[in-house]
């Protein structure tokens, strides 16, 4: 007999018993109800019990369904997590012998499909409208890919144990020297230009980073504009605190800054996209070359769905770049690290050369994201 039937029978018997007793104690000295009234009361009690039971199973079924869905979700999370032993070993390798306790960073394990730390990303950076913002706008696509593949081979030779994958890092919102119609000092790239960047990436099966310089706007206004692209499994996000301006200052007049709360907002935004679209984890790149560019970095929270990369993007001599990396990246760990190399600006100071892949890999921790401008 089911629980429903048992409860129904018990309530019915209770109703009949009450009816037989007149529905009240005999000690009250009142006249017993007639048989007709007793039957009427019994029928009413039965109907009330049926209605109550109809409501109870619905709530019960809803609670059981919710519990089963939550159990399935937790099980899916457990089974989707990466091989933790392999992940830990790779993170230890990236720490490169660090004994300070800073590295590797203790962070949630990512879900399966995560790119890091299983691969090293080598990216070409820029904007298709400008030859001064990076290699993307300086060379035609065929030449660009010849150069990028050459750099990939150099990095693969320097670290044969880590596969190298290419990336196109495209500035999708650029800080401007004039306020524009909305006085926000930034320009959003048209869809046609974004599609062109994705087409260049497709030439070499590359992943894509869409980079945002908010100027006097904010991430809450700018990131949703490119959501349709972020829903693609191979498209990731980058944000540039240098060009997040405060107190009405124009871009380029001072070095901007971004707080951990804004970075966490971006991470959670990506997390939602990953969950809703059943995507592999996203990467979030944050550029940094001074300590003041990122406020409260200890409060930045990596997520199983979002891998966070702090990218040292200062230019200069090898000595200066190592010092900047140690000061801004090593001392304030978040999760993963990146390193930018400038084809032109890094040659301006003595000894007028760029760091080699082998030299960069001597840093602690070893950068897993490499960007060329």
The pLDDT value recorded for residue 32 is: 54
Q: Which two tokens stand for residue 31?
A: 């006249």
The pLDDT value recorded for residue 48 is: 73
Domain that holds residue 68: 3-24+31-78
The pLDDT value recorded for residue 194 is: 97
| Domain identity same for 51 and 87 | no
What is the pTM for the complete model shown?
Answer: 0.80
| Domain identity same for 183 and 196 | yes
| Domain identity same for 218 and 139 | yes
Q: Are strands 235-239 and 258-259 parallel, antiparallel or unpaired?
A: unpaired
| Domain identity same for 49 and 100 | no
| Domain identity same for 232 and 252 | yes
Q: Which residues contact 150 (CB under 8 A, 6 or more apart)?
A: none
The pLDDT value recorded for residue 68 is: 75
| Domain identity same for 41 and 125 | no
| Domain identity same for 301 and 172 | yes
The parts of the chain modelled with pLDDT lower than 50 are 3, 6-8, 15-29
| Domain identity same for 86 and 65 | no
Last residue of a domain, one of 78, 108, 143: 78
| Domain identity same for 48 and 102 | no
| Domain identity same for 160 and 198 | yes
Q: Which residues contact 78 (CB under 8 A, 6 or more apart)?
A: none
Residue with tokens 């990731």: 236
Number of domains in the chain: 2
Last residue of a domain, one of 46, 78, 110: 78
| Domain identity same for 96 and 70 | no
| Domain identity same for 60 and 203 | no
The pLDDT value recorded for residue 24 is: 45
The pLDDT value recorded for residue 47 is: 72
Q: What is the C-alpha to C-alpha distance for residues 350 and 316, in angstroms, rounded to an integer?
A: 9
The pLDDT value recorded for residue 75 is: 58
Strand locations in the chain (E): 120-126, 164-175, 186-188, 207-212, 235-239, 258-259, 282-288, 294-295, 306-312, 336-341, 369-372
Q: Which domain CATH number covers 232?
A: 3.20.20
Last residue of a domain, one of 42, 63, 78: 78
């Amino acid at each position: 007999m089911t629980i429903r039937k048992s409860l129904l029978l018990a309530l019915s018997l209770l109703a009949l018993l009450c009816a037989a007793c007149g529905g009240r104690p005999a000690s009250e000295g009142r006249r017993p109800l007639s048989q007709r009234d007793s039957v009427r009361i019994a029928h009413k009690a039965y109907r009330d019990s049926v209605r109550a039971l109809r409501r109870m199973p619905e709530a019960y079924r809803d609670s059981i369904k919710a519990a089963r869905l939550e159990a399935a979700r937790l099980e899916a999370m457990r089974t989707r997590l990466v091989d933790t032993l392999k992940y830990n070993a790779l993170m230890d390798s990236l720490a490169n012998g660090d004994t300070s306790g800073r590295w590797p960073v203790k962070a949630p394990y990512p879900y399966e499909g995560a790119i890091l730390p299983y691969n090293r990303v080598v990216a070409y950076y820029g904007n298709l409208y400008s030859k001064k913002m990076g290699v993307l706008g300086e060379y035609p696509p065929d030449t660009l890919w010849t150069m990028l593949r050459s750099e990939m081979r150099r990095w693969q030779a320097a670290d044969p144990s880590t596969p190298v994958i290419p990336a196109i890092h495209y500035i999708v919102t650029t800080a401007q020297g004039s306020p524009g119609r909305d006085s926000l000092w930034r320009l959003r790239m048209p869809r046609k230009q974004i599609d062109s960047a994705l087409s260049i990436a497709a030439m070499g099966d590359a992943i894509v980073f869409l980079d945002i310089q908010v100027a006097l706007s904010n991430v809450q206004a700018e990131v949703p504009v490119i959501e349709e692209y972020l829903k693609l499994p191979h498209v990731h996000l980058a944000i540039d605190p240098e060009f997040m301006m405060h107190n009405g200052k124009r871009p380029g007049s001072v070095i901007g800054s971004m707080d951990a709360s804004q970075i966490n907002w971006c991470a959670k935004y990506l997390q939602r996209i990953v969950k809703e679209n059943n995507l592999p984890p996203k990467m979030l790149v944050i550029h940094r070359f001074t300590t003041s560019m990122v406020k409260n970095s200890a409060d930045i929270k990596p997520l199983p769905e979002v891998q966070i990369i702090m990218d040292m993007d200062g230019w200069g001599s090898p000595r200066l770049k190592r010092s900047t990396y140690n000061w801004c990246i090593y001392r304030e760990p978040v999760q993963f690290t990146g390193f930018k190399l400038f084809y032109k600006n890094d040659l301006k100071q003595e000894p007028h050369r760029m760091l080699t892949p082998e030299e960069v890999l001597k840093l602690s921790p070893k950068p897993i994201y490499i960007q060329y401008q």
